[in-house]
A and B are shown apart, each in its own frame.
Chain A
Amino acid sequence: NTDSEEESMSEGEMERLKEEVEEKKKVIAIMRNKPWRMKRRLVHLKECQEFVDKFEGALGKGKGRKFYAYKVMMTKVLMGLPYGSIPRKTVPRAEQPTAQDYSVLMDFNVEDTVYRYTIRAQFITCDHFFLSQGYCKYSVLFYGYYNNQRTIGLLKFRLPLSYLMVGVGTFGYSLMVVIRTMAKNADVGGGDGDDGEFTFAWKMFTSWDYLIGNAETADNKYASITTSFKESIVDEQENQKDENIHLRRFLRVLANFMIICCLGGSGYLIFFVVKRSQEFANRDDLSWYEKNELELIMSLLGLVCPPLFETIAELEEYHPRIALKWQLGRIFALFLGNLYTFLFALFDEVNNKLEEEVSIRNASIWAQKEYYANFTLYNNDTDTTPPPMDPSDVIRGPCWETAVGIEFVKLTVSDIQVTYLTILIGDFARAVIVRFLNYCWCWDLEATYPSYGEFDISGNVLGLVFNQGMIWMGAFYAPGLVGINVLRLLSSMYYQCWAVMATNVPHERVFKASKSNNFYMGLLLLILFLSLLPVVYTIMTLPPSFDCGPFSGKAKMFDVIMETIDLDLPAFLGTLMGYAANPGLIIPAVLLMVLAIYYLNSVSEAYQHANAELKKKMQMARDEEKNRRNNTESTDQVMKDLEDLLPNRSLLPPAPPPETGGKSTKVRPGTAGKDVNLQKDVSLSSPNPNARGAVTRPPGPRGPGPLPGNGQQGPGGGPGRGRGRGQPPPRR
């Protein structure tokens, strides 16, 4: 019985038993890691478990078992289902976008295609009376709605100040978000990231996702794997092409020259048309064409030029990815030309309005004085009661900010309309026609022209970027624009999602514009700056309208800040700011920042150099190892496990076992060979000779030098494993 057993055991034996129990427990714990057959595992598990149970109680650790069982149960509960707990994969969808939170939308991870510019007429301004005139004009959508009262209500909400702060703050926040996303992309994707180590091998072995259970997802996955391979193949082929440098350079210079001519021509055309439209503004008898000439010309340019650029770019013979970047850059330049011309037109209008305003202001002040004069004449009352005019009859000045806001809203709305129409006609109608006319047409509509529309990823992304630029510019003058844009983004996402799935086919040639998404983020950043400029300029220079908006009556918009500092903040802050605004302080600060930029730049270059050197070293080391290993023959404990798993032992290759990877440290060629055979014989055919003696004896007799497998598992596991290989140990 156990009591007498306990008494009769000496301390040494207790120790020994304890160690064995620990060792068995370890085996149970690591059994999961072994590539054994289930049967073997069950057998071992039973063995070890029995042993532990029997002797653990004897050693006074009865509670340990319960705790162990509890632990096992908890692990099972926490582990989840054994065959994957991720639900079936669906087509990934962008989450709800907000107007400013671009990082979400930009996280596309899709491949880009050769740029094919679909209709992207962004500047068709039609007369949208339902939105920009009528009731809406005086709603919260536009700048003019906001009152210029300094504080509102009980909480003293400072409307003008908050308007300005929000306006400027949106830019600051967007800037931060964009830059942070770019930094993150550069970090993760690694700028030029993939250095080509094992590209193909990884693509082959690690690209399939084993949790996919849905047929459609599987199809998508196949397609994406295929395109990924094709991209690498194209990459590889480009690297192997031969070059005639001089001819190529000449052609490239020629192509660039032609394109600059095109851009200049389009700029001049727009300028010319803008001048004409200013003349038209003074006339009343305009035909439809003359009314909309500016927008028409702009959209035609936007339609015609990109394919033209593409054709010219064929002269250049760049790598497709680089060619794509050039193409996108040129379209960007075109867009900028359009945009700034539009802005100049707007500025002209604003100046006109300002002049008009002066006259109206004089007129209304005059009317007011007159009224008071009459009033006091009749009533002898010097109180300043406001004129009893219905608010709707008051003469209003032309609110130039609202006019600007209206322009932007018109732009956005027509952009929306054009996009939706384009998709409807260009993609959907085309698909319907091709599908149904194909039955009764001479040539195969589906295979050749016109076939189905291809999904133009880069065009769409560029469109989104430009749209965002518009919103940034217009948001200060028409706060409601942001809301409109959010609605637009939501609806267009579902709409385009449907259109793509239903009517589009993927491109034939695929490659990415950049390994990370930083190319588009860079464009976005540029647009952010460009849209920041006009707004900040107007805040600083142009006087606000005298009778509408939160800044009315002030000389400049940012006077609000001055006012706040004077009235709301304690006095010393005011003087502090006064000192801080001194140029003598600001110029050194700017110099310091410039120096910091320069320093950080050179530091980062140094790091890049260091990285390149390290990579080279690694490559050299790898090549050396390759050459060295041609002479080594050593064994790997893992190979033993592999062989055991083979269904039929006779399939074992008669040749000596293959070489190992980086696990062997210093195995000499000659002795290692002998070692192999010795090991095999010992472990496969007979019980382990190490079965005698204490468990913790290090695996000495196994041969010279540490064997790779053992190094991995530690002293406890080794003998344990060895024991398991043969028959159960005689200790039982």
Chain B
Amino acid sequence: MLHGRFHELAPHLVPLDYTNQPDIRLPLALIVSMPELKENPFRNRIVEVFSEDGQGNLSFNDFVDMFSALCETAPRELKTIYAFKIYDFNVDNFLCKEDLEKTLNRLTKGELTPEEVNLVCSKAMEEADLDGDSKLSFSDFENMISKAPDFLR
């Protein structure tokens, strides 16, 4: 089923027979055109997170990985880990203020004024940052998310 979808994206590239484990990777642009991801504000980040080279080129294994993590039945801890990586735009294992700002702008499509963005990001940072280094480490993030009432995708 998933293989069918993968194949659909680039019929001329993806072989139907995977027993030889060919190393075919699809570029980012193709993946984000899928209907499930098209409307997602974080689609680029999602694909980048699951790709091995960090540039968004997914092999079939990565593809399956991605969808299994996005699945409803994936365990909460798994989702937390991936959420953290998705929101970490500059890939430094911390959510710094710029990461938060980027997240917010993507979520609101730039409808908030810069002061409002600033206020929201400072408040969010203040709320979740436990070790006071003005960045959110994974543990801060996880601590905050685990208390959220409806953290399910």
Residues of A within 8 A of B (CB): 32-35, 37-39, 42, 79, 81-85, 197-215, 217-218, 222, 225-226, 229-230, 232-233, 236, 625-626, 629-630, 636, 638-639, 641-643, 645-648, 651, 653, 658-663
Interface string of B32-50 (1 = CB under 8 A from A): 0001101111100000000
**Which listed residue (A236, A646, A653) contacts B123, Cβ 8 A?**
A236
Nearest Cβ on chain B to A709's Cβ, whole angstroms? 11
Are A35 and B82 within 8 A (Cβ)?
yes
Closest to A626 in B: B130
Ordered by A's residue number, 9 sampled pairs between the chains whose C-beta atoms are within 8 Å are A39-B61, A201-B127, A202-B144, A209-B153, A210-B40, A222-B108, A233-B119, A626-B132, A658-B131
The secondary-structure label for the interface of chain B is helix
Closest to A204 in B: B124
Are A199 and B127 within 8 A (Cβ)?
yes
Asked whether A218 and B75 contact (CB < 8 A) given A82-B67, A200-B120, A204-B104, the answer is: no
Asked whether A200 and B127 contact (CB < 8 A) given A206-B145, A225-B107, A636-B138, the answer is: yes
Chain B residue contacts of A663, Cβ below 8 A:
139
**Which listed residue (B71, B107, B124, B149) contacts A83, Cβ 8 A?**
B71
Nearest Cβ on chain B to A227's Cβ, whole angstroms? 9
Are B39 and A205 within 8 A (Cβ)?
no
Chain B residue contacts of A212, Cβ below 8 A:
39-40
**Which listed residue (B83, B138, B147) contacts A658, Cβ 8 A?**
B138
Chain B residue contacts of A84, Cβ below 8 A:
36, 70-72
Asked whether A638 and B138 contact (CB < 8 A) given A82-B68, A83-B71, the answer is: yes
Are A222 and B109 within 8 A (Cβ)?
yes
Give Cα A641–Cα B142 distance, bound, in whole angstroms: 15
Q: Does B64 contact A (CB under 8 A)?
A: yes
Interface string of B56-94 (1 = CB under 8 A from A): 000001101101101111110110011111010001111
Residues of B within 8 A of A (CB): 1-2, 35-36, 38-42, 51-55, 61-62, 64-65, 67-68, 70-75, 77-78, 81-85, 87, 91-94, 100, 103-104, 107-109, 111-112, 116, 119-120, 123-124, 127-128, 130-132, 137-145, 147-151, 153
Give Cα A79–Cα B70 distance, bound, in whole angstroms: 13
Are A201 and B130 within 8 A (Cβ)?
no
Are B111 and A206 within 8 A (Cβ)?
no
Chain B residue contacts of A206, Cβ below 8 A:
145, 148, 150-151
Chain A residue contacts of B35, Cβ below 8 A:
213
Are A642 and B127 within 8 A (Cβ)?
no
Are A205 and B145 within 8 A (Cβ)?
yes
Closest to B103 in A: A204
**Which listed residue (A214, A225, A660) contacts B139, Cβ 8 A?**
A660
Closest to B145 in A: A205
Closest to A643 in B: B93
Are B143 and A661 within 8 A (Cβ)?
yes
Are A226 and B108 within 8 A (Cβ)?
yes
Nearest Cβ on chain A to B44's Cβ, whole angstroms? 14
Are A647 and B130 within 8 A (Cβ)?
no
Ranked nearest first, the 6 interchain pairs of A and B with the lowest CB-CB distance are A661-B139, A647-B54, A38-B61, A218-B39, A210-B153, A658-B137
**Which listed residue (B39, B130, B148) contacts A661, Cβ 8 A?**
B130
Asked whether A198 and B147 contact (CB < 8 A) given A226-B109, A229-B108, the answer is: yes
**Which listed residue (B1, B42, B78, B87) contacts A81, Cβ 8 A?**
B1
Are B112 and A653 within 8 A (Cβ)?
no
Closest to A660 in B: B139
Chain B residue contacts of A210, Cβ below 8 A:
40, 70, 153
